[in-house]
Chains A and B, each alone.
Chain A
Amino acid sequence: MATNHSRKRKGSGNNHRPSKKCAVEKEDIVDVMTDSERKPNFSSLSGPNGVNRNHASPLVANKPVSTRKLIIKNFKDKPKLPENYQQQTWDKLKEAVIAIHKSTSIKSSLEELYQAVENMCSHKMAPLLYEQLRVLCDEHVKSNVSQFLADSVNSPLYLKQMNTCWQAHCQQMIMIRSIFLFLDRTYVLQNSSMPSIWDMGLELFRVHIISNRSVQNRTVVGLLLLIESERNGEAVDRSLLKSLLRMLSDLQIYHEVFEVQFLEATNQLYRTEGQQLMQERDVPEYLMHVDKRLNEETERLLHYLDQSTKKALITCVEHQLLGDHLSSILQKGFDNLMEANRTSDLTLMYQLFSRVKNGLHELCAGFSSYVKKRGRAIVINPEKDKTMVQELLDFKEKLDTIVSDCFQNNEKFILALKDSFEYFINQRLNNSRALAKFVDSKLRAGNKEATEEELERLLDKIMVIFRFIHGKDVFEAFYKRILQRDFCRKSASVDAEKSMLSKLKQECGGGFTSKLEGMFKDMELSRDINIAFKQHLQNISSPDNIDLTVNILTMGYWPTYVPVEVHMPPEMVSYQEIFKKFYLAKHSGRKLQWQPTLGHCVLKASFSAGAKELQVSLFQTLTLLLFNGTEELALEDIAHQTGIEDTELRRTLQSLACGKARVIQKVPRGKDVEDGDKFVFNNEFKNKYFRIKINQIQMKETAEEQISTQERVFQDRQYQIDAAIVRIMKTRKTLSHTLLVSELYEQLKFPVKPGDLKKRIESLIDRDYMERDKDNSNMYKYVA
């Protein structure tokens, strides 16, 4: 309330004190005088609504309009007064004022008293009247102070007494003012230095009562005590507080007498409380308490404190309970809240932290470090690779929910989440590998586990994680290896794979997926080749009735395996040769390298219980075929006859003789294949199914394979850098080193060191793709 402290208040703006009558009278005044003209000197008034003009108008007399009429009366009633008129009239008024002061009845009628005041004013007795009234009030107010000087009264009672006195004072001044209204409106308003009757009353109360050191001290201490006990949870008389604080405001001493001490007390209370409760309570409890305190103080502002205290008070609570404890709160409780997904506590924490300086900054930093720490724990442990991606997806979803529900989707937090994810996910190169495997397992499960939409949604989520990975090419390399295995076994869900491919393409651009596309192209071309080959077989006399299908992979697109050579039965060798001839006749300049590791077959098998079909790898096939016409074979015989590498062969035999479908038997029995073991055909083999798939026991990807995958990745990176440089230089023709490097960073999808880029640029200069500018060695020119 801006007018609270205005010295020249007209008893307005305070609901509890001035009577309705007063408020109405004030409106009468406003009729003529705007706020800015509240203290006008009538004689100097001019302008469209000026009183002087009205004064000169002959029509004015007939206009029964408020103040204007009153002034004109001055002239009409040129009076002849009795000698003692002034004394008599004053006595009458004085008696009335004293009656008001003593709360006894007034003898004269109010109408009579108004008239008396008006008459005295009309006869230029206003200054005297004002002074006499002032002296009278002065004496009365002065006499009131004595009751506050006694020692015996306790504090609550003292405050009540003070309030009673103040309320009475206000009441009296309102009545007095209504009697002396004419004086107030005419004489007082003409003198800018003269306080209105109401203000005069306040002035007297201030000087005689509240400015007394002891009175003031006891009042303020009493108020502070009362507030303190309310803060300690006791119920207090809020209307008493409200009234007395309003008194201080009205007396214009609220700030210096009360507020300063109040804020100091508040500061101390919450400083102690903050330090103590931070020790005693856990974070959610503490935050709840802070919230409660803030609400209480807001209530206090609503109920009795002056609004001008608001900013300082709330800031003080925020500072002492929050601002000073930000990092301890975060250290003590933030991770737990995140871990337990305590969304309501986190929401509160966000709301509270957003109130103080640096609060959100600190919270965001805490959030970021939590994500990094927790995320790192998920990705760093190779034992957990199987569950890692699902955990990451869950973790991401949880964090997204927290950011949107608790942190109001604050952009800083969104960014922090992204950066932290990116940071921890790239702590380990193998994440790409785990991600590729996860993608693969989901794609292979295909429609069995999830509907198409669910699969799509899952792929979208995976792409979110994929986006954070720096070594996207590493992902690509592993993904290719998995794709290859699936392609050669025909178990890939081609639609899902293609959908994944298009997502990757969107994410990384065509350059990244070009090799994957090449792989898909190979799959399609292989289909055509097989059709053509089948026709070709019909034209020549083919040796046996084997259903041969061929997958032709383009070297470079696909992961490569160390080439191995195995011995195959003559009819298989001749089949292979027929195909080779057929293929090379169609494609000049090419050579073929067989990939026995990737081959697989369907075998017809005859057991005493009936015939079966076995789906087996090429290595398993070669092994089993040896048993045609032989009772028993030693490990060494099989090795010799098939030429399969030792560990590979042991694994193969294990799958056939020690797994669930034991189509051959090992002698002696046992889980592992040892030197000297012998193997026999298991004629008694039984299985309720006709077609049986016997999986090759797979070693975890050998270290060698992993290394070769990585090497290939690094070589590919060099080509990609080279290609990007050439592409950029071709468009730009000339470019500075700095600009070239910055464009490269934009285009390349994997982390590169500046030194490596420099090397590639040098190499391209060597190879005449570009040259240095002769005048400026920092400029490059494209060589067409």
Chain B
Amino acid sequence: MADDEKREQMEVGSGDVDINDKKPDKMFGLKKWNLVAMWSWDVECDTCAICRVQVMDTCLRCQAENKQQECVVVWGECNHSFHNCCMSLWLKQNNRCPLCQQEWALQTTGK
């Protein structure tokens, strides 16, 4: 918020003052750290070549059915990756990777 700019908030301390005289050269010590990270599928190509939606987004069929959480990614031995749902449909017709035409061999499924 713009009106937050430059405004400092002071909060009353809990009172447990401990003066650390042993390390006079260390003025600042890290007590607590809130680390933020974003996860994504470890893929070479962001887009699923079958449905052409980004792999981090749910494939179109799962979007239509509101099954966001279940739509994971699969990797083949060829290192190409797709939505698991898209690949399983694809495999019913064709046992080759849609990108490199190698025979499809499952390397791993994301979770």
> In the complex, which residues 537-559 of chain A have their Cβ closer than 8 Å to any Cβ of chain B?
546-556, 558
Q: Is the CB of B39 within 8 A of A588?
A: no
Task: Give the residue name and chain of the B residue nearest to A485 (CB).
Answer: B1
Q: Which of A554, A600, A603 contacts B39 (CB 8 A)?
A: A554
When distances are taken between beta carbons in the complex, the residues of chain B under 8 Å from A441 are: 1
Q: Which of B34, B37, B39 contacts A601 (CB 8 A)?
A: B34
Q: Which of B5, B7, B30 contacts A621 (CB 8 A)?
A: B30
* Number of A-B residue pairs having CB atoms within 8 Å of each other in the complex: 230
> In the complex, which residues 59-78 of chain B have their Cβ closer than 8 Å to any Cβ of chain A?
60-61, 63-66, 68-69, 72-73, 75
When distances are taken between beta carbons in the complex, the residues of chain B under 8 Å from A552 are: 37-39
Task: Give the residue name and chain of the A residue nearest to B39 (CB).
Answer: A590
Q: Is the CB of A547 within 8 A of B31?
A: yes
Q: Is the CB of B57 within 8 A of A588?
A: no
Cα A264 to Cα B33 with chains together (Å): 91
Q: Is the CB of A604 within 8 A of B28?
A: yes
Q: Is the CB of B20 within 8 A of A604?
A: yes
Q: Is the CB of B35 within 8 A of A550?
A: yes
A357 to B: closest C-beta gap in Å = 52
When distances are taken between beta carbons in the complex, the residues of chain A under 8 Å from B18 are: 611
Please, what's the 1-or-0 string for B87-103, where 1 marks a CB less than 8 Å from any CB in chain A?
A: 00000000000000000
When distances are taken between beta carbons in the complex, the residues of chain A under 8 Å from B53 are: 719, 722
Query: Which listed segment binds B: A99-107, A337-345, A367-375, A687-695?
Result: A687-695
Q: Which of B2, B19, B34, B39 contacts A599 (CB 8 A)?
A: B34
Please, what's the 1-or-0 string for B1-31, where 1 marks a CB less than 8 Å from any CB in chain A?
A: 1111111111111110111100011111111
Q: Is the CB of B34 within 8 A of A551?
A: yes
Q: Is the CB of A692 within 8 A of B10?
A: yes
Task: Give the residue name and chain of the A residue nearest to B62 (CB).
Answer: A723
When distances are taken between beta carbons in the complex, the residues of chain B under 8 Å from A730 are: 61, 64
Q: Is the CB of B15 within 8 A of A549?
A: no
A414 within 8 Å of B by Cβ? no
Q: Which of A440, A554, A604, A687 contacts B29 (CB 8 A)?
A: A604
When distances are taken between beta carbons in the complex, the residues of chain B under 8 Å from A611 are: 17-20
When distances are taken between beta carbons in the complex, the residues of chain A under 8 Å from B69 are: 518, 521
Q: Is the CB of B60 within 8 A of A722?
A: yes
Q: Which of B31, B60, B111 contacts A613 (CB 8 A)?
A: B31
What class of interface size applies to chain B in its complex with A? 35 or more
A697 within 8 Å of B by Cβ? yes
Given contact pairs A550-B37, A589-B41, A693 touches B10 in the complex (Cβ within 8 A): yes
Q: Is the CB of A593 within 8 A of B40?
A: yes
Cα A625 to Cα B33 with chains together (Å): 13
Given contact pairs A546-B33, A719-B63, A730-B64, A592 touches B28 in the complex (Cβ within 8 A): no
A575 within 8 Å of B by Cβ? yes
When distances are taken between beta carbons in the complex, the residues of chain A under 8 Å from B29 are: 603-605
Task: Give the residue name and chain of the A residue nearest to B2 (CB).
Answer: A700
A13 within 8 Å of B by Cβ? no
Q: Is the interface of B mostly helix, strand, loop or mixed?
A: mixed
A606 within 8 Å of B by Cβ? yes
A514 within 8 Å of B by Cβ? yes
B45 to A: closest C-beta gap in Å = 14
Given contact pairs A690-B14, A693-B11, A601 touches B33 in the complex (Cβ within 8 A): yes
When distances are taken between beta carbons in the complex, the residues of chain A under 8 Å from B7 are: 695
Q: Which of B12, B26, B41, B110 contacts A690 (CB 8 A)?
A: B12
A691 to B: closest C-beta gap in Å = 5
Q: Which of A593, A604, A612, A722 contacts B37 (CB 8 A)?
A: A593
Q: Which of B30, B66, B72 contacts A510 (CB 8 A)?
A: B66
B44 to A: closest C-beta gap in Å = 11
A726 within 8 Å of B by Cβ? yes
Given contact pairs A437-B1, A514-B66, A719-B57, A603 touches B28 in the complex (Cβ within 8 A): yes
- CB<8 Å pairs between A and B, sample of 29: A518-B69, A546-B30, A546-B31, A546-B32, A548-B32, A550-B35, A550-B36, A552-B37, A554-B39, A588-B109, A590-B42, A591-B42, A592-B37, A600-B34, A602-B31, A603-B28, A610-B17, A611-B18, A624-B27, A624-B28, A625-B28, A627-B27, A629-B25, A689-B11, A692-B10, A692-B11, A695-B4, A695-B5, A726-B63
Q: Which residues of A contact B (CB under 8 A)?
A: 386, 437, 440-441, 488, 490, 510-511, 514, 518, 521, 546-556, 558, 560, 571-572, 575-576, 579, 583, 587-596, 598-607, 610-614, 618, 621, 624-625, 627-629, 655, 659-661, 681, 683, 687-695, 697-698, 700, 719-720, 722-724, 726-727, 730, 763, 767, 769
* Shortest 4 CB-CB contacts between residues of A and residues of B: A690-B13, A589-B110, A723-B63, A727-B64
